Every structure is written in structure tokens, then in C-alpha cells.
Structure 1
Amino acid sequence: MSQMKLPRAGLLLWMCVMNRVQDTATAAAALSITHCVIRQYVDITCYWETTDQHLNINSYRLQINKSSCESKHSFFQVGFCNTAGSDCSVQPIDSALHCFCADVLASTRTGSIRSPPYFFSGVNAVKLRPPQITNLTPTKTRSGCLQVTWKMVESFLQNEKIYIRLQIEYTTHNQTRSQTTQAFSNETLELCDLHPGSKYTVRLRAQDSRAHAHWSSWTSLDTTTAEKAPSAAPRLWRLIHSVEEAGRRRLILVWKPVSWPEVNGVVLSYSATCRSDLDSSQWTCGTMDASRRSCILNISDDPCHCSLTATNSAGTSPPAHISIPAHTHAEELPPPQAISVTRLDDTRLVVEWTAALSQSESGFVVQWASVPYTEPTSLDWEHINETARSFIVSGLLPEVPYNLSVVSLFGPLAGSGMSVIAFTREGAPSVGPNITMLQTSSSGVVLKWDPVPLEKLHGFIQSYTILYSINGKDKSEKVSAHDEQKSLSGLMEGTYNICVMAHTAVGGATGPCQQVVVGLEDVQVIPILLCALLLCFLILIIPVCMRVRIKQCLCPTVPDPSKSSLSVWSNARMCQHKLPSLSAMNSIISMGQTTIFQDYGEKDYVPVQVFTYHTVPQDSNETNISTSAVTHQDSTLPAAQAFPTHLLNHSYTKPGQVTPAGYKEDPQPSSDHLLFESFFTNKRNQADLCDYIHVSQSHEPVITTIDEYRTLDLNECPHFRQVLPEDTST
């Protein structure tokens, strides 16, 4: 029995050892080095991978040895490194002209695992450092060329330079071109056949041809080629408004910039001009900034043609032309026969159309803009060739209405357009309708509402719902989307809250509510009564506010004669002189209050100097005269030649008789005027000045100066005397 157990124990031990060896071999096969890279005179980096993720490896240890490439039996340690990742670098190294052996030791919970040894030649694993670009400029002698100058960072033996290669890539607008050349054959390279005025990114990297799997990292630099004049014209379109006053039309020119690569640089400005086809009239927008995309002109209703050019630093593009028909011919060319819009997603719509019958279109223009259309820059458009019958409009927003139209082109002319409004996705309205009560009665109301603007509906209106409530009871009536007025009848007496809700396919929104009283027949009388009361109030308040002015008009202020500067008239009678005949009497003129004034007379009349005086009214039974001087005329002259005067204020009286002459009260004569008096207006043979009583006078003479004049002295008129009253004020 014991002899039988011994072979069994040996077999079990042998099976355990073999299982252990097999597990170790399996684990070792799961860990392997994929490749190693040498950076000359810097380090060696090796990469490995583990196929069994259940090994629970804690860390790795990379060991690198070197030997001669002829014999792989004697090794010299280069170095080692520890890491928890899948790569590790050993540094430094003196040269790559050796053969190397690398292995990785992985530590697990149950022990360690070593990868199979990885042998490689150093020159086949070298990765060069990136070259340096020392100069990158446009070629002055050749347009569309760049000159690149570079240098290598490492130094190489002369016999090794033949293995170094250089790869150049130059990219513009996602277009990449590359070429490979010998690095040391020529360290200056010219890149030609490039687009003028384009920005290029030039990249360089180097490789040892013996290590074909390892390129250096890229080094890059940006530059722009020399510009040329644009080789293509901008894309031009127009919007024509109807004829306004004076036969003018509003023309909006819109354009898209010259596309790359035809632009050949950076556009600095645009220039737009329109010229009449019938005369020499022209309209221009002048030179516009490069950011402009539209131009507005007021042109005549005659046919004209417009042109647009783009300018960069090198020159001007060919002009873009468009013809504008006369307003009488604007509708002669037909639009497409039909148009439809289909939603693709939240940002795209597909527009489809059917061309007009028996027409030969040269192309189409698809236009689209959000509603409401605010400015020309919000309009987008695209030219389509004559064979196309659909176009996908992208970059749209959901719940925003868009006006899409298709216009047929017939050579240089354009037909009328056909348009449709569409949404990429509809939404619920943001506001509801505003209502107005048109009429109320004892049992109903008539209301009207304003449609909600399309941009606030966020969709197409489907229907309206009228909501009204009284005493907590809610009722509603649904009306079609085309109705904007509704009569509610059969209502009970009371106060109603009424509002209108607008519905789209997604939802609805309610507008502001109004309170309406139903059942009072005299509801309409209330505003009339209020207006009548307001009118009565205004009629009463206006006289109260203007009472002072009304009093002044009805009861003017009468001047107080007692406050006059001449309150006492002289009682002296000038009885020494008898008045002459009427012709002479007309020459006696009394002066009103004035300053000293030199007057002139007609021919053969002698003027005198006039002095200031004031008159003071007296009682009717008294006779007073106060004057400063009188004028004298030759009594032989006719009365028709007396001084003409404008009557301002005059009245004289004689005991028992009053002869008025345009009496007008003058409470305070102005000292700025010369006032005359005419004593008599009735024809008399003789009159005694002393028999007249002065009441008031105020005249203004109208005298034409003809001859020279002089002033009479008192000694020349002894028959005239003046008696002034004594000054009693002092």
C-alpha cells in the first residue's frame, strides 16, 4: 500500500510543478513589449501591453541592456525605470549605434511576471527631434509661392546625413498638400502653385530612413501668400419696392462676398452703381466698408442696370451686373408654377418648386428671411442652376416663422416670386389677443379682437376660444381661425369677465380679460352724462379763472383828474384879441401834452415853437384854458391850407353849446407824441377864444415840410399873451 502511495505523491507533485510552469508561461505570454523608441542622446522609451486584465499587476520595472549587434550573448546594463503605466523611459544614452535588449518585470499579488526579451537595433528605433523653421515668407519674384528655410537640431555624421529625410505639409482652408525631400540636400525650399492671398500653415518633420516607423514631431508656422486682384465678381441680388412719390423706387442691392479662392486676398471695400438705360442718370452708394452686405438707392421708374465690384490691396474684381426692369414691366415674367416646403428637422427645411410652363429659365433664386422682415441684412438667398427643382435651407431656428420664396431668372432679368411661410417646429403662442367691446345690450355683447402677430404665435393659428365667466361659472365658445368678431347672446344680467385664447397646433395663450356689464339699458347714457357734466364744469370754471380780466373789460379804470400835473386852469381871459374869420381860426392850433418840438408848415406859413402843457378837466359851468403857445397864420390865407391833423382826442364847449370833434377819452397822454387840437369844426364868422371852454383834446399833425422855417419870438406877436397858472403844488 505504501509503495502505491509513493508514485501517486510524485505524480501529484509533478502535476503541480507543471501547472505552475504552465501558468507562468501563460502569464508571461500575456505581457509583451510592442516597440521601443530612441531619442538620440536623450533616452530610450519602451511601450508594452497586457492582454490579461485579471492579473492585478501593481507595478512594472523596465530593464534595458546593450550589446554588440554581432553577438547577442554579452550584455551591458543601460538602466532601468519603474512605473505603474504602460511605458517607461531610461535615460541618458550615449549613442543609438548599438543593439539593445529590453524586458519588463510585472509585480502581482501572487508573484512576478517577466515579459519575453525584446531585441532591437538602435538605428532602427531612432526618432529624430523636430526641425526648426527659420524663415517662411512669400516669394517676391513669383506670386503664389512661399520660401521655407529650416535647420536640423541634431548634428549628424557626414555618412549619416544621407538617411535623413524631411516631410513638408502646407494647408489652407482644409486643403492639405505635402511633399518629402532630402533634409540636407537643400535647407531652403520654395512652395509654389499656391492660392494668392491665402493663409497657409506650413509643417515640417524629419525621419531617419532606417527607422521608417518613427517620424519626429511636427513643427509649424503660419503665413499668408501675396494678394492678387479678385478673379471673380461678388454674387449680386436685388429687392425692388413699389413706386413712391415723384416716380421714385426704393432699390435694395444685396450681395455675397467673393468666395475663396477667387477672392485672392482680403476685401477692403465694395462699390455699387446703377445707371439708367434711357438717359445719363446714375445712382451710386460710393465706396462701402467690407463689412457691408447691402446698399439702398432711390432710383427712377425707368429700366436701369447696376454693377458691383470688390477691391483688395492688389486690385478690383470684375463687376457683377444685374438688370432692373421698368416698374411697368416688373410683373411680365412669370413666377414658378408651384412651391412647397417640407420640414426636415429643427434647423432645416427643404423647398421644392415647379417651373412655369413653356418657359426657359436660366436659373432660380431661393430667398428666405425671418418674419417680420426688419432689414436687408436679415435676408438670405442663393442662386440655383436651371435644372434644380429643390433646395435645402439650413441654419434655421425652431418656433420662428420664415418667409421662403422662389424667383425665376430669365437671362439678366428676374420674374416675380412665389412665397410661402413655414416653421421648422411650431410652438405655443407667447401672448393672446386683445379684445374690444363693440356693443352691449340687455342680453348680449359684441366683441372684436386683434390677431396675434405671427412671430408671437410661434405657429399657425388653428382656432380661437372665447372665455367668459360670471359668479364663478366659466363658459367658453370656440370659433374658427378666420373669425375676428363674435356676438355672445342669451347672457344673464351681471358683470362678465371676457377674454380670448389663441390656439396653435402645440398650445394656446390667453389675452387680457375685460369686465363687461350686461343688462343695463342705459349703459350708453353714462358716457354722455359724464361728457355733459364735464362741459358744464368747464363753462363755470372759465369765468371764475378769468374774473379779473372780465372786470377790467366791463369796468375799465377811469383816471383821476385830481392827480393831473395841471390841476388848476388859469382864469385869465385873453380878451385883448378877437378871433379872425373861419379861415384864420382854423390856423389856431392848441397843443396836447408833449415835449418841445419844432414843427413845419406849408409854403407861406410860419411855424412856431410849441411848449408842453397839461389840461385839467373843470366843471361844466367854468371856463378855463391852459396852453403854452399857439401858432399864427396870416388871416388872409384860405382856410383850406390850414395844418392837416389826425384827430386823436378832442372836445370844446361854449356856454350853452357843445361842439364835439371825435371825442375819445385819453386818461394819460404819452409824452412821446405831438398832440394838436383843432378848436372849431363848424363854420363861424367871428369867434372869441375866451368864450370857449376846453374839455379835452388830442391830435397828431400831418405836416409836409417845404420851406425853411424859423421860431417866432414873443416880441413878434404882441397881440398874443399867455397866462400860466401859478404852481400851487409847492
Structure 2
Amino acid sequence: MEQSAAVMWTCLLGATFALAASLTSSNTDPRPPRLIDCVFMNRANVTCRWEPGDPPATRYTLQVQRIPGIRRLNISSKLPLTTFSCTTSGSSCTAALSGSSVSFTFCVSVTAHSASQSEHATSERRCQSGRLEVELPAVALSAVKQVKGHPRCLNVTWSGGLVDFPVSLPEIRAGNLTSQIQFTEGGQFDVQVRDVAVRDRSFLVCVFRPDTSYSVRLRHRFMGATSPWSQWSNEVWGGTAEDAPSAAPAFWREVKHADESGWRPSSLLWQPLRRSVANGRVLFYNVTCETSSSHALRDHGSCTDLDHSVTSCSLLLPAGRCSCSLTASTSGGASPEAHVWLLGASEAEPPSPSLLSVTPLDDSRLDVRWAAPAGWSPGGYVVEWRSVTEKNSNVLRWRRLNSSCTTVVISEGVRPLERFAVSVRALYGEKGAGQNRTVYVYTRQGAPSAGPSVEVKQISGSTVKLTWTPVPVELLHGFIRNYTLHFTSETQPARSVCVPAHTLSYSLKNLSPGVYDIFMQANTEAGAGAAGPVTNVHIGSADLSVVVWVVLPLILASLGLVMVACLAQTKMVKEKLFQDVPDPSLSSLAHWTPKPALEGSAWPAAAGKLELRYSEVVLLGESELLDSDLSYQSVRHLHTFSLNRYAQLPASANQTPQSSTESEKLTESLTKARSSSDAAVYSDVLLSPTLQSQQEPPPPPPLPLSVSVDGVEPQLEGDRALNVSPHSESPLSQSSDSSSVSICSVSPPRQASFESVYNPAPSLQPRPDHLCGTMLLLPFPRPVFVDMTYCAAGYDPYVSPAV
């Protein structure tokens, strides 16, 4: 026990002395600094870093000795060495190499100096080639070009820069360089760095996307990881070549109902490819459609020659099942095909998605969510939305999604105060698209900008039935919650009625008599909208209604009778003023034959029992003709008859001379007579009283008389005055039955002309042996016949009168 205790105490004492010795030695021998690394710049300088020793020194001295090439293998040679040094108080220092190349071997050490100036410690000396820790100078990029046939590659060309590059071309080809490129896509800010293998002054880098421009930089380092990276080169831009699109365009369709011939008007829709998959500029699209039996359709409608700006086309598709495909082409080739399948017009569509909800996020965004149909596994979905208008002519917007997506936020074309129809369809591959499920929504509602137009459908007593047309959806700006019907009159206060939104008619009952102004307002959750047009309605009393229904038919009947009477009066007036010429054959003179006037009679004695008192010519105007029994109607030319030769009557002692006054009176009456289209002329020859009182006058000597009848045209002078100059010696006509004789015209040897209005006399057949003259018939519709049977003078047209 004692021995063991002694051994233990001996060990403890030994350990204590050893610890004390170590502590004493540490305090007396400081720990030298340790080199971390050095960076050599070719023909420039060298920078080294170290860890401080223990205790910390007040200053450090860096010594870099260049070993000549002939002594690389024998460092202990006594030849002089070139030393480069620098002093610092920090943990790094840079010593100039004075133009020395880094191809030499350099020995580096660091000495720490304490404050006592007598104590110093030197780090372990390290000798190696300067290229092992050389920082290569930044290279210069000269070009970055696309590579034909390689749309994802760029050809980068570089040079060694302005200073000597310490790595030779054979060393580069041997793979003694480690290189990196830094590139940024045009329009982007993300910087990417990739390792590249550089074996020459020009090399390919195939880490890019087709048809994309990039800015490129390059840097190198010598050998392994002990050499630092050089600075980045200058920036050079370059772009890759185009390639065929890497994905098919999003493809959809809009099909309408079949027409009479069974063809379905259809629109094919697609969306431009994203730049990330287009791989170039799309030059054109190609659409092909075929039936289920793989027969291509010949009629492509507008789906031909589709350039890059077109995103839809129209054509007629058959009623049966068919499909259409679409490709987009660039200079690098065509994209994969996109397909849509259409079921036959009589086929049932697969089910629609369930649990569809549309929630406004703000004024321009809608959150759409749905769930897959139960028991079905759709291959994708199509979300459709469009602004709802009266004619539904707005552009259909849509988005095609994969099967894992059941929610989407839509914002394209979404605006506040507009109603949108949002629907979702499920896609079932070649089975076509399923039924759509639709929700109508507003991002934000407002008050309607117009009100309904009210019309009166029926008025029955004090009840008015009203109808109205809905406000166009473009003017609603929200969902209609109800209508407010306002009505007021002069005698009643303004009142209103709330009408449900789904009704389009309403009846106002028990209205008091008066005139009412009626209008409506549409109400949304944002409030009441603008008032609609005002309609006026008149409500009368019950007694007034009875009076109207009773009196109105009487008034109408009276008006009818008045019109009938006016029409009858018009007919009567026409008969009075424009009556037809009476038929002479129905008169009492139709069968009367007068006696010969001069048969067996003789002229009066030479004493002269016959006396011509005067010849009277009377002109009748239009008014007088209407009142006379002759009833003149038409305007015709009346012929004149001239007695060119006549017998001289023997003078009589008992004959009373004719006064000049009567002759002047006749002349004056003829001169003042108006010659117009409304006048008729006739003359009366009156016998003297002595001739009238004579019972049986002695027969006169034979008196041959030649009579000629000449028709002359009217001559108008001044105010259509008729000038007739009667001759003092007028031919006489005598009748045994009457003392006055009517003749057609009295004219002197000179012809007289005038115009007359007359009513043709009854057509009597003249006796040729009793005519006073010859009648010239003119081509009138109703010819004039003049009866000259009352001329009392006998004559022989071929015998001259006795002297």
C-alpha cells in the first residue's frame, strides 16, 4: 500500500513539473505566423495573407524570393537570390515583382516582430511556381454568334487581352484552364453562371434557349482550385437561332346549332404561343379537319392561309363526329399538333364540373373554382368568360388548363359594372368536351342608368294593367332586386309600389278619376336607378263612360248621314248643271209638219201693206241661259246666213216710215253685245200693225230670190266685242199663221262673224222646198239643225227678181 501511494505521488509531482515547464516554454518561445495563400499577378506583384502568431506582433515582414530557373532543383545553392518584400501591421501585404514573370519558382515567408525588437518569429517557408497561384488577366471577348443548325448554342470567341497571358495555347488545348461564362437573357435581370470547357480561342456554349438574345462574359483560372479566378471579360451580346415550337398552341372551338342542311357553323380558336415555347417567330398556322372515318373536309372556310396575326377562323362542320388539328410553324419547323374533338349533333355530352363558384377579388379579377365530375377523370378543363350584352356579340375569352388545376384567377377583359358569364367545361380526350356550367357575376355593381318603359295594356274602369320591357343588360350595371312603380295625378299625392324583379306586368286598381303620370325605376344592390319614360293615363268617371259609349255612336251615325247627304247633293248639282241634252224625238213637235208658208199666197199690194218695224238681236249670257227653257250647255260656232240677193218690196202709201231711232237702237244693241263663249244670238222680225191687221192681202208679184249661206270664223276685237252692222234693208219672212218670224241670222251683203253658246235644237228634218237658205254642217259632236220653214218669202234660186 505504501509503495503504491508513493508511486502515485511521484506521478503527480512529475505531471506538475511537466505542466510548469510547458507553460514556461510557451511564454518564452512565441508561435510564428502561418501563411494562408498568395496571389501572383504576372509581371506585376504578389499578395499574400497569413494568420498572426502568438503573441501578436507589432509588425510583419513578407519576403518573396525568386529562384532562378537553373537552381530550381537545388534550392540550397549559394547563388544570390532576388528578394521582394513588404512590411505591414496587418495580416496581408503586397510586394512588387518588378516585371518578373510568374513562370519562376518563388519562396515565400512571413516574419513577426515583437515590441522588444529582439524577439521575432518566422513562418514556415513555402516554395512553388508562381503560376500555381497566379490570377490570370481578364480576357477580351470579340464575338458571340449563333450556330446554324444548333438553336441552343452560341459560338464565343476571345483573346488574351492587352498583357501577356501566362498560359500558352498548347497548355489551353491540354485543358490547363478552368473557365466560366456569365449570361443574362435579354429583358431579364437574372444572372446565370455556368462552367464551360475551353480548349481554344473559340468554343461553343450550348446552354441557351432558341431565338433568344443574351449578354455573355467569360473568365478563367489556371489549373485547379488553388488558382484564383480572373476578372470577368467585357460584355458581348449575341442571339440564338430559331427552332421549331416545343409545344402545341392552346386550341379550342365554339360550335353553333346545325342549320337546315345539317352543317354546324363553327369557330376554331387558338392562343399565340408563349415565347418560351415558340422558339422563334411564328410564320403561319395550319388547320385541318376530318370526320371520324378519317375523311378530310374539302371546304376549309376561312381556315386557309393563316398568318401569324390570326387567332381564329370559321368553317362548316358536319353533323357527325369530327376532329380538327392545329400546328404553328417557324423558320425552324412546325410545332406538335393540337387537337379538338367534336361530338355528333345527336350525341349526349359528358357531365359538367360540379361546385362551380366565381368570386370577385377586385374590380378587374375573378376567382373561379370548381370540382371534377363525380366518377370521371377529365383530361383537362376549359374556362370561358365573356361580357353579357343584349346581342351577345362580345369576344369569347378562354383558358385551357390541365387536369390537376381546379382553380384559376381570370383578369383579361374583366371590368366593373359589367355582367360576365363564366363557364367551365371538362375535356375527355377523344370523347370531346362535356357540358358547360355557367355563373353570371359582376366584379362591382352600380345603379341602373335607365328605367323600364311602361306601356298601358288595358284600362277597365278604375283599373289599369301595365306592362314594361326590361332594361338592356348593358344599362343595368347590376342584378335587379325589384322595381319601383311611381304614379301621381293633379288631385292625388305621389305614390309608389314595389314590384318583384321577375314580373313584367302589374295592375293598378281603385284609381280615382284623373290623369296619371306613371314611370318606373329598377333597383340593384347599389340603389335605385334612373327613372324611365313617363306614361300618361286618363281615368274617367263611370257616368262619363256611359255617356261616351251612348253618345259616340250617335255622333258617328250623324256624321255618316251628313256625308251621304253631301254625296247625294253633289250628284244632284251635277245633274242640274251638267245635264244631258234632251232627246228631240220625245218632244211634241217630233211629228208636227207645218204648212207651206208661201203656197198660193201673193205679196201685198203695191201700196205696201208690209212694214218692217225693227229687227231685234238679243245676246244671252251664261246666267240667262241657265234660267231659260233652252238650257244651253255647249259652246259651238253658229253659222251666218247672208241674203245676197233679195226682191225690193213695193212701196206703200200707207206704210209708216221706220224711225231712225229704232234702227240706231238695233245697231247699238248689236254693238254692245258681248261676244264670248257664253252668249247666244237670236233675232225677231216683227211686222207692223198694218200688216198684222190685214186680213187677206193681195198676192204680190213673183219675187225670185237667191239665198246663200256662208259660214264664217269668229273675229274678236278688243274685249271680245261682237260687231254686227244690221242693214236697213233686211229680208222679210212672213207666215200666215203668225205675225212674228224667227230667223237664224240677219246680215247685210257684207258678212258678219261672231261666236255663240247654244243648246242644239231638236233635230227636225227640213223640207227642201221651204228652206230660206242652205245649212252648212260642221263636224261638231252634236250638229246644229236650223229650221227655215217659217220663211214666208218664196223664191227661185235660178230666176232673177223682176224689175
TM-score, with length taken from structure 2: 0.45
Higher strand share: 1
TM-score of the superposed pair, with normalisation by structure 1: 0.49
Pair member with larger Rg? 2
